[in-house]
Amino acid sequence: MSYSWTNVLISPQTTILDALKIIDNEALQVALIVEDNNSLKGVVTDGDIRRGILNSIPLDAPVEKIMNRQPITATIGTPRTDLVNIMQHKSILAIPLVKGETVVGLETLRQLSEKNTYENPVFIMAGGFGTRLKPLTDNCPKPMLKIGDKPILETLIHSFIKAGFVNFYISTHYMPEQIQQHFGTGLDFGVNISYVHEDTPLGTGGAIGLLPDNLPQDSPLIMINGDVLTKVDFELLLKFHNENKAAATMCVREYDYQIPYGVVNGDGNKIISMVEKPTQRFFVNAGIYVVSPKVVKSVPKNQRIDMPTLLEQHMDKNESILMFPIHEYWLDIGRMDDFKKAQVDILTLGM
């Protein structure tokens, strides 16, 4: 699929949310901020937006608040190999082409380079009972429920395949035979699929201890719940984890909660301030992680443990546990309302 770079030209007053939609929809990984006659004023990337979210900059703020005002550019006519070298050396994914101060094009590393292949293992947790989706899960494991014309798990695996991942492990418990019969060894999908089986439920992290000892010693593992429907850029996630030399990275989602009452702040019996129905913002666990081989090895076989507890153990050792805010589409299909929403959303997600 081809994309037009002119679709990512926006003004400094464009909201961050609108810039985010353009970055997601156009798949060029960047938006270019221009003024009269396409004069380049800055660029904004996925990473700029994530940093803005972490710094509590609201999504309705103008994009100029987070844009890079000194972007790396290249002149029109720069050879392809030079563009690739610049982007790789500067660790950027896109570079505007300019003539003077005017934007006349855009090149991305993804377009210029051959598709990357990642040997990192992808571990998908698919053993849950799906109790809240009964009676649909009476005779079918939740990850095998169809969203559109494919099981949830198949859509998830295809998302990783598109990103270049080829080695998969699936943790099973409830009705494992349906999952194994559908996916087999992965041959029909052009990838490698192996299975680990939980005789008893081991929590969201315990199945890590069942993984084979021969996993790559220098490749972080990506871990995801098998009931998640998402358009997260797994390549960017892995790149973020590696560049920050993290022991583990947790994907988080911003969650807004509006208190339905007026909140009164006081000092003793004196009212200091009053706020009518304030909105509080939190980061919630999105069920997607990148974990280093060290963390993988720290989980004993057949020990029940949840991922937050596992990560807290490593935080207590002063190891670097980071969060990666996701703004892309994400849905945890845990309830019937979520399942119905996914059936509608899948029609427009291009998945």
Same domain, 125 and 43: no
How many domains does the chain fold into? 2
Res. 194: pLDDT tops 70: yes
Q: What mean pLDDT comes out for the span 246-261? A: 92
Res. 3: pLDDT tops 60: no
Count of CB atoms situated within 10 Å of the CB of 256: 8
pLDDT at res. 2 = 45
Q: Which residues pair with 264 in a beta bridge?
A: 274
Same domain, 79 and 124: no
Sheet with 102-108, strands from edge to edge, namely: 74-75, 94-99, 102-108
Assigned domain for 350 exists: no
End-of-domain residue from the set 77, 112, 147: 112
pLDDT tier, 1 (very low <50, low <70, confident <90, very high otherwise): very low
Same domain, 159 and 240: yes
pLDDT at res. 195 = 97
Q: What mean pLDDT comes out for the span 136-158? A: 94
End-of-domain residue from the set 83, 112, 141: 112
Same domain, 108 and 140: no
pLDDT at res. 157 = 95
Distance CA 173, CA 228 (A): 17
Same domain, 25 and 150: no
Assigned domain for 351 exists: no
Same domain, 313 and 246: yes
Q: What are the φ/ψ torsions at residue 77 (nearest 5 degrees)?
A: 95, -5
Domain that holds residue 102: 5-112
The CATH number assigned to the domain holding 63 equals: 3.10.580.10
Same domain, 231 and 156: yes
Same domain, 269 and 335: yes
pLDDT at res. 114 = 63
Q: What mean pLDDT comes out for the span 250-278? A: 90
End-of-domain residue from the set 82, 112, 142: 112
Average pLDDT over the chain reads: 91
Distance CA 81, CA 216 (A): 31
The model's pLDDT over 53-104, given as tens digits with 9 standing for 90+, comes to: 999 899 999 999 999 999 999 988 787 778 888 888 888 888 999 988 899 9
In sequence order, which residues have a C-beta less than 8 Å from that of residue 227 and are 6 or more positions away?
128, 130, 142, 143, 152, 332, 333, 334
Alpha-helical (H) ranges within 133-258 are: 152-162, 176-183, 203-206, 234-243
pLDDT tier, 333 (very low <50, low <70, confident <90, very high otherwise): very high
Q: What percent of the chain has pLDDT over 70?
A: 98
The CATH number assigned to the domain holding 214 equals: 3.90.550.10
pLDDT at res. 115 = 67
**Cβ neighbourhood burial of 295 (10 Å; 0-12, 13-18, 19+):** buried
Distance CA 153, CA 170 (A): 10
The model's pLDDT over 169-188, given as tens digits with 9 standing for 90+, comes to: 999 999 999 999 999 999 98
CA distances from 182 to 130, 143, 154, 163, 343 (A): 19, 12, 9, 22, 21
Same domain, 192 and 341: yes
Assigned domain for 193 exists: yes
Same domain, 201 and 70: no
218 membership: H or E segment, kind and range: none
